[in-house]
A and B are shown apart, each in its own frame.
Chain A
């Protein structure tokens, strides 16, 4: 289990306990946190689960992007070099305390 902080574009913060094995995207959906759509259900084909990892330490600590994630991020709303797809971030105890920032919009 990990406590994940989701921060909306307007600065509003949400915190959720997310079970290990779920994705950070699923954590947001299950807790009704706005700002992440996850239209494709985690299939890495929609880029509507896009988040920024503003804390550089955290960005480096996360598992590296798999093939295809950057290609999908090209199609996200305002991607940056610290962008990730939250459906590809699988929660484990190691992610306790992770903060993700949501873009202004997803679609």
Chain B
């Protein structure tokens, strides 16, 4: 059991800056994210795209923003628990017991939900029959490519993941690449390469088709695809891979007994506490009149939520307002040397 002043659910920009705000007021926190990297949407959806509306930063990419936010909290040495999802919140003696899907447990007076629109999950095939094989022969990500050696693999999708894996696996497997239209959204060089491999009959390229059914008797045998005009074809397959990007699922957050408004959590704008004492929600996941789903709003929300945590974490102390420019306590916490 890890004891801490606050657990932050979500390592997106909002969770990261909130950690900074906790750090400068002298609180400790642990940060959990189910992705394998820090940065939330900025790193997962648009690492290379420039952002133009971060105050005082005229331009920076999603990745640069993330790296700077990580740099800004480095001195606090907070722990990140990646590849782990916060699954369960339980109240025990006025403390929250937080459990993750990997079995970690935290005890804390404060939980800060900075979960964006929930956790990212791969979009799956719409066909019910594919569920039976999910994780076995119907896959949405690749851990070990050696399992495909000398097998028939049908890949669906038109982005970089689909193209890159089609190219890579075509070296050792029989590949069919299926996409719903003729244009691909992957990098031009990969598109070109796939077209060449299709012309030389290394890859069987099928455009304007989508999945209709997967078939098998215990183990997967084939996949049926359909065109919009109703024509269908059956392709032998040992594995079916789908790369349709990520969708966001509220996931376990919906089961914590919090008031929900569609997929968001209503909060008060004084300290961003939810209907449950000691549970705060900030960033894209919270809602209140006038809410803007912007990074800058998340920063402000995190600053107030951090102050909100103080009274539960240090019930016998009084929070004192201080500037980072002048407070020697804050400078100590940040590990910076005083110049004057």
Q: Contact residues of A with B, CB < 8 Å?
A: 37, 39-41, 45-48, 70-71, 74-75, 77-81, 104, 107
Contact = CB atoms under 8 A, between A and B. Distances in A.
Interface residues of B, number: 23
B328 to A, nearest CB: 42
Main secondary structure of the interface of B (DSSP, over half): loop
Given A39-B117, A39-B248, A80-B228, 19 more contacts: A37-B263, A40-B117, A45-B45, A46-B248, A47-B247, A48-B247, A70-B181, A70-B185, A71-B185, A74-B158, A74-B180, A74-B244, A74-B245, A75-B159, A75-B245, A77-B126, A78-B126, A81-B181, A81-B228
Contact of B247 (A71, A78, A80, A107): A107
Of the listed residues A39, A70, A78, the one surrounded by the most CB atoms of chain B closer than 10 A to its CB is A39
B157 interface: yes
B293 interface: yes
Contacts, number: 50
A45 B41 CA distance: 10
A107 B126 contact: no
A107 B248 contact: yes
A79 B180 contact: yes
Interface string B26-56: 0000000000000000000110000000000
B210 interface: yes
A49 to B, nearest CB: 13
Nearest to A78: B126
A33 to B, nearest CB: 12
